[in-house]
A and B are shown apart, each in its own frame.
Chain A
């Protein structure tokens, strides 16, 4: 099996080299690009399995690169941003980027995200997770039943749709916009408060300690992430 190839896009040479080195010693093939144009062309020639993309690029920026990459493929995109680019980060995720890291970051953190993204990308053709089980909680998406300590938990229709939307993409960061559009429809895209209310209802019904959620994690200002491990996917690791 060939080594997974990662395309690292950053205009700062030192960051590109540091990330490249770390990936190389961990048995990845690494391609590099210094700007947006190069990123798009290398992505089409090198066929990477994953793209690590800095948002702040000279020429065409990271958002535009995301848009162009998404037009052609579903290659996982991990966005690198600095704190000032908060809104760009959300925009990139809305455009189809899969996850993000804020600079400066530790290499283990980067590796964990990279591995999770690659694993999800590989598992995309496999069966969807059907059952989750944790701390006396059983969620069965097949029979649409949730039990806590042996007792059925009743969910409203909206709560069910939200639960399905989240649990279908374990580990993936889902933006407010994506969730609102998926569960409520395109008209609700700006209505983050509605989403917040339903998330907290869902947490009260599912989580052992809703104040410290272990099933639905919050990414402040960006979205939510289903972090519960699926029963029929023993390898999955919460990121």
Chain B
């Protein structure tokens, strides 16, 4: 019944505990109304007598009796059965004494008056009983309604709220307010360890109310277990300082606790479902990544293997041209593999955070041609135009990282060009304030707005014919290297179609000899 704190913090042995009625009395009328009822019974009877005595000769005994019946009805309605009976008996005596001839004596003159008198008594007692019963029902209904209203208010708050400690706190403080407690806390049980953990404390510092003891009052707190299907999820602790709960309150409290337990359970399941979903998504990304990496590694390998075994087979004669063609294709696919493997290594080293930039003044005019030459060698059909403004050539960078950034941006542009029909790439650098911006401009298909966000994520690739996850590492690596050198990277539209990838690096203030 929740009033003792003798058992320890384990909840298991208290799982089926219920709040039982604390006081087994049924309050129909409030004591105040009962007193008023008695007052009405006595005072109205006397008043009525006082009014009627002067005119008692003009009235028939029956009509005077009706007057007393009205008093009985009023007394019973206000104060219930007791005042009704008092009014009946008191009225009976007064009626007899003052109004049944001969007056001012209890002697009754005519036998028919005896009938009238006892009919009056019987009638008024009957009315009192009926009225008291009806009004006690009305009272019970009203108090039941009150209970339901309280419960409904609390449950509505509980159900409509989002899961989490803030909600629990607001619901708990509402509960304390409704039931007149000054402090309380919510404890939940860890499903694995079965330890009780305080989730929320209201009306006092956290830890003040513990399952065994209330540190402020040094008494065990009121414990309300929260359980679903016999499984204990937690408990409410309430500071014991108000009168014991009435049976009605305790019923409401019990129902509320049951509901709260269901909400706790719901929140727990929701959390589990969210975690499972997140895990599933990670798992999916991991799988498609693995597929993409293995596809991108295997394709060049398959082409190389086919060409090499073809050249090794001596069952055929081929022209020198055909041989050259095979070798060129092996060379190209080997380059592809080398790029991919170094990108994978770069990506994992950036990811692992083991790279450190060795930044010093680097002349773009020296670094750019080397990167451009490599791309020209790989894709001779591309036309690459380079413009480096005179004041924009010296930047603070790690030359090795900068070379990788340029290579990856040029590769990206070359890829875009090969998928489109234009074979022009422009590379330009400009000085603005304290930094130098380098732009690699292609005239390919461009990048849709929706996918720009993901462009610099590892393994994302915009492919014209293949909208699938590929080993699109180049831009992610460029971004990684640039952020190690205090640089930035972004994408712009190329006027007339295509994408422009731009990056900026801190400029070195050149001391010109001129």
Contact = CB atoms under 8 A, between A and B. Distances in A.
Of B299, B306, B332, B466, chain A has the most CB atoms within 10 Å of the CB of: B306
Given A26-B316, A107-B313, A108-B313, A15 B306 contact: yes
B310 A18 contact: yes
Interface in B325-339: 325-326, 329, 332-333
Given A12-B299, A21-B307, A84 B313 contact: no
Contacts of A35: 465
Interface in B278-334: 291, 294-295, 298-307, 309-310, 313, 315-318, 322, 325-326, 329, 332-333
B299 A14 contact: yes
Contacts of B310: 18, 21-22, 25, 107
Interface of A: 11-12, 14-15, 17-19, 21-22, 24-26, 35, 56, 58, 82, 84, 103-111
B307 A103 contact: no
A53 to B, nearest CB: 14
Given A26-B316, A58-B465, A107 B299 contact: no
Task: Assign chain B's interface to a size class.
Answer: 20 to 34
Most B CB contacts (10 A, CB to CB) among A15, A17, A26 go to: A15
A235 B135 CA distance: 111
Contacts of B301: 104
A82 B298 contact: yes
Contacts of B303: 12, 14-15, 17-18
A26 B316 CA distance: 6
B299 A15 contact: yes
Given A12-B299, A14-B333, A56-B295, A19 B466 contact: no
Nearest to A56: B295
Nearest to B326: A21
Interface of B: 291, 294-295, 298-307, 309-310, 313, 315-318, 322, 325-326, 329, 332-333, 465-466
B313 A105 contact: no
B315 A104 contact: no
Nearest to B291: A84
Contacts of B322: 21, 24-25
Given A25-B316, A26-B315, A26-B316, A106 B305 contact: yes
A104 B310 CA distance: 13
Contacts of A105: 302, 305-306
Contacts of B466: 11, 58
A47 to B, nearest CB: 25
A17 B307 CA distance: 9
A216 B252 CA distance: 78
Given A14-B329, A14-B333, A17-B329, A84 B294 contact: yes
B306 A104 contact: yes
Given A18-B307, A22-B310, A111-B313, 11 more contacts: A11-B466, A14-B329, A17-B329, A18-B306, A21-B310, A21-B326, A26-B315, A84-B291, A105-B302, A107-B306, A110-B306
A14 B310 CA distance: 14
Given A11-B466, A110-B306, A18 B315 contact: no
Nearest to A18: B306
Nearest to B317: A25
A25 B318 contact: yes
Contact of B302 (A11, A58, A104, A111): A104
A158 to B, nearest CB: 41
B294 A18 contact: no
Given A26-B316, A58-B465, A84-B294, A14 B300 contact: yes
A82 B317 CA distance: 30
A106 B304 CA distance: 10
A108 B315 CA distance: 9
B307 A104 contact: no
B302 A15 contact: yes
Nearest to B332: A14
A82 B306 contact: no
A35 B301 CA distance: 20
A103 B302 CA distance: 6
A104 B325 CA distance: 20
Contact of B298 (A17, A103, A106): A103
12 contacts: A12-B303, A14-B300, A15-B302, A19-B306, A21-B322, A21-B329, A25-B310, A25-B322, A82-B295, A84-B291, A105-B305, A107-B313
Nearest to A106: B309
A18 B299 contact: no
A101 B121 CA distance: 111
Interface centre among B294, B305, B317 (most CB of A within 10 A): B305
A44 B30 CA distance: 97
A25 B316 CA distance: 7
Nearest to B305: A104
Nearest to A23: B310
A19 B305 CA distance: 10
Q: Which 4 A/B pairs are nearest by Cβ-Cβ distance?
A: A14-B303, A104-B305, A106-B309, A104-B302
Contacts of A111: 313, 315
